[in-house]
């Protein structure tokens, strides 16, 4: 046939299989009439996948609804927007130690938002939609990685749905907000996809390494995938491992030199290389993420021998191990809520997708129940347990929507007050100062938080307040401790049930 000659026999066979499904067709290679692969899943399996997708969609409705509003500002959005605005206005991206402001992300995290600021004029609102786009790409990248490893469409589709549902229900902290972390995970997943596609190729290994290095220039604690690749190389190709490690050391050295020449010494010590404050209590709190992804983790552990029996599965196993090391090493740091466990969740979902392809016809002993159906049912049960508290709070009720609209209206009033004030303004909610056009880098929200060591000294900030260098201060519900604000009089206050913000100005007495 003509299209067989144009497309080639392999592509034509796949197209015929998709079109005919269960019907018999003539193989373009042998000419025999064969049965096409089963592409339509059983009814129960399709019903389970549809339920998982519906639960995931329920989980993102509220953040998706609030994306276009200025309601519920997130601290990560505020400091990111202020940092981008200051960089755009000519200030160095990384402030000196005398400024009460910390930029602890590498520069690649800010470049996309600098472009958004130039195009849309609002880093926060445009960044929220970028977050949803990256979330979609994340799901597609997982599906692509599973399809590359399993060579089957249905497990790849299910794994994408699994990631969508998992992040929608359990990782809502960074969904729908302007936060660069998802960009780093997208880059690492593309690196995994390239390695799964050509595991023996040095070109693929180099390209994947570049992508993982780029992910590290978005967020420096994305260690899981690089550690997994290192362990996989050491286990399978020890000679290549030594050359790869040497190349990585050289690349890291050249990258550090380039960053120093471009951004100066303030890039390293007062900002990105600040030590975090660690606590065993914080680690135990962050380890709860394992219970959230217990189903895909248990699936990978129960069928570990089957998963590691292939080269692609072995790579995924090492990536999971590296991601667990990342969780243990970074999960004890203060201020990492919603920032840990991403790589472990992604690698577990990829491993589960690969296993779904291998377990397609496996049934439980002395039962007609298929292993795939049991896995999907367990996912649904665990998701329902996570969603029940949201149902009790009526997150999607009419009262909730009215609350969000009312809060958005009150925030706009505060922003209007701040924008009408002449002079410098300091904020606890940096988003308010950004929207009001007051982009001075003073982060009052850092005052009660001991996230970094050494901490920024508040001496200069205290002098600015004592000399009334600020025309107004947005205090939030609790004024900063250790500062005499008696010289400031409140000019705006809102119902605490609606908005926890007070704008104060220097007294003129």
Structural contact between residues 226 and 240, judged by C-beta atoms closer than 8 angstroms: no
Q: Where are the beta strands (DSSP E) in 260-411?
A: 275-276
Bridge partner residues of 363 (DSSP): 370
Closest to 107 (Cα-Cα) out of 256, 323, 278: 256
Q: Is residue 83 pLDDT above 50, yes or no? A: yes
- Neighbouring residues of 50: CB distance < 8 A, sequence distance ≥ 6: none
Cα 137 to chain centroid distance, Å, stands at 11
For residue 87, the model assigns a pLDDT of 93
CA-wise closest residue to 72 among 502, 500, 504: 500
- pTM of this structure: 0.86
What lies within 8 Å, CB to CB, of 361 at 6+ separation is 370
pLDDT in tens, 292-337: 888 999 999 999 999 999 899 999 999 999 999 999 988 888 877 6
Report in angstroms the alpha-carbon separations of 407 from 126, 396, 420, 434. Answer: 20, 16, 20, 17
pLDDT band at residue 8, thresholds of 50, 70 and 90? Answer: low
- The β-bridge relationship of strands 425-427 and 488-493 is unpaired
Per-residue burial over 103-142, b if 16 or more Cβ lie within 10 Å, else e, is bbbbbbbbebbbebbeeeebbbbbbbebbbebbebbbbbb
Q: Which helix (H) or strand (E) holds 408?
A: helix 398-420
Confidence of residue 41 (pLDDT cuts 50, 70, 90): low
Contacts with 498 (C-beta within 8 Å, 6 or more apart), sequence order:
406, 407, 410
Give me the pLDDT at residue 401, please.
77
How is residue 321 written in tokens?
């191990």
Residue 36 pLDDT: 42
First-to-final CA distance of the chain: 92
pLDDT of amino acid 27: 44
Average pLDDT rounded to a whole number, residues 277-302:
87
Contact yes or no for 4/28 (Cβ under 8 A): yes
What does the pLDDT read at residue 11? 46
Instruction: Of 158-162, 277-281, 494-498, give the range with the top mean pLDDT.
Output: 158-162
Question: Which stretch, 242-251, 331-340, 363-372, has highest mean pLDDT?
Answer: 242-251
User: In percent, how much of the chain has pLDDT > 70?
Assistant: 84
Q: Are 331 and 290 in contact (CB under 8 A)?
A: no
Mean pLDDT of all residues belonging to the chain: 83
On the question of pLDDT at 4 being above 70, the answer is no
From 239-243, 373-377, 448-452, the region with the lowest mean pLDDT: 448-452
Q: Is the dihedral of CA 31, 32, 34, 37 positive or negative?
A: negative
Distance CA 425, CA 423 (A): 7
Element (H, E) at 291: helix 289-292
CA distance 64 to 60: 6
pLDDT confidence bin for 93, thresholds 50/70/90: very high
Q: Which of 508, 507, 509, 502 is nearest to 418 (CA)?
A: 502
What pLDDT is attached to residue 481? Answer: 67
Q: Which residues, including other chains, have CB under 8 Å from residue 53's CB and lie 6 or more apart? A: 161, 164, 165
Peptide bond preceding 25 in cis form (omega within 30 of 0): no
Q: Dig out the tokens for 159 from the structure.
A: 């794994």
Distance in angstroms (rounded) separating the CA atoms of residues 295 and 376: 9
Once rounded to an integer, what is the mean pLDDT over residues 167-185?
86
Q: How far is CA 307 from CA 224, 351, 376, 392, 458, in A?
A: 19, 7, 18, 39, 53
For strands 425-427 and 33-35, give the pairing. unpaired
Cα dihedral 361, 362, 365, 371 in deg (nearest 10): -110
With 80 as the cut, is the pLDDT of residue 455 above it? no
pLDDT at position 26: 42
């Amino acid at each position: 046939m003509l299209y067989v000659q144009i497309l080639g026999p392999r592509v034509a066979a796949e197209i015929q299989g998709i079109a005919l499904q269960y019907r018999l067709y003539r193989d373009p290679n042998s000419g025999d009439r064969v049965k096409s692969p089963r592409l339509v899943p059983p009814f129960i399996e399709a019903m389970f996948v549809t339920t998982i997708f519906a639960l995931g969609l329920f989980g993102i409705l509220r953040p998706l609804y609030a994306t276009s509003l200025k309601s519920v500002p997130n601290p990560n959005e505020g400091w990111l927007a202020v940092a981008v605005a200051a960089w755009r206005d000519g200030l160095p991206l990384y402030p000196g130690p005398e400024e009460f402001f910390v930029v602890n992300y590498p520069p690649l995290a800010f470049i996309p938002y600098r472009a958004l600021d130039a195009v849309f004029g609002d880093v926060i609102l445009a960044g929220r939609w970028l977050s949803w786009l990256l979330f979609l790409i994340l799901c597609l990248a997982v599906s692509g990685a599973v399809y590359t490893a399993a060579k089957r469409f249905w497990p790849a589709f299910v794994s994408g749905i699994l990631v969508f549902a998992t992040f929608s229900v359990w990782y809502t902290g960074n969904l729908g907000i302007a936060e660069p972390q998802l960009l780093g995970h997208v880059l690492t997943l593309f690196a995994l996809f390239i390695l799964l596609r050509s595991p023996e190729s040095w070109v693929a290994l180099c390209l994947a390494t570049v992508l993982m290095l780029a992910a590290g220039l978005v967020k420096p604690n994305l260690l899981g995938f690089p550690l997994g690749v290192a362990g996989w190389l050491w286990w399978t190709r020890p000679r290549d491992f030594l050359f790869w490690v040497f190349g990585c050391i050289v690349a890291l050295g050249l990258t550090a030199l380039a960053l120093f020449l471009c951004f100066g010494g303030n890039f390293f010590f007062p900002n990105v290389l600040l030590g975090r404050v660690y606590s065993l209590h914080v680690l135990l709190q962050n380890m709860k993420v394992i219970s959230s992804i217990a189903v895909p983790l248990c699936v990978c552990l129960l069928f570990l021998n089957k998963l590691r029996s292939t080269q692609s599965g072995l790579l995924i196993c090492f990536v999971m191990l590296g991601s667990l090391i990342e969780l243990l090493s970074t999960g004890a740091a203060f201020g990492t809520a919603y920032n840990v466990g991403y790589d472990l969740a992604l690698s577990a979902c990829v491993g589960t997708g690969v296993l779904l392809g291998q377990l397609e016809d496996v049934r439980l002993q002395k039962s007609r129940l298929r292993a795939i159906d049991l896995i999907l049912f367990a996912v649904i049960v665990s998701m329902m347990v996570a969603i029940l508290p949201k149902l009790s709070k009526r997150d999607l009720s009419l009262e909730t929507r009215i609350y969000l609209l009312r809060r958005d209206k009150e925030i706009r009033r505060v922003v209007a007050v701040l924008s009408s004030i002449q002079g410098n303004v300091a904020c606890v909610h940096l988003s308010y100062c950004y929207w009001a056009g007051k982009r001075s880098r003073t982060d009052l929200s850092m005052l009660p938080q001991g996230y970094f060591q050494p901490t920024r000294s508040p001496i200069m900030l205290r002098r600015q307040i004592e000399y009334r260098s600020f025309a107004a201060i947005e205090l939030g519900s609790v004024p900063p401790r250790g500062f005499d604000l008696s010289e400031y009089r409140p000019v705006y206050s809102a119902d605490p049930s609606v908005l926890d913000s007070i704008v104060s100005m220097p007294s003129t007495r």
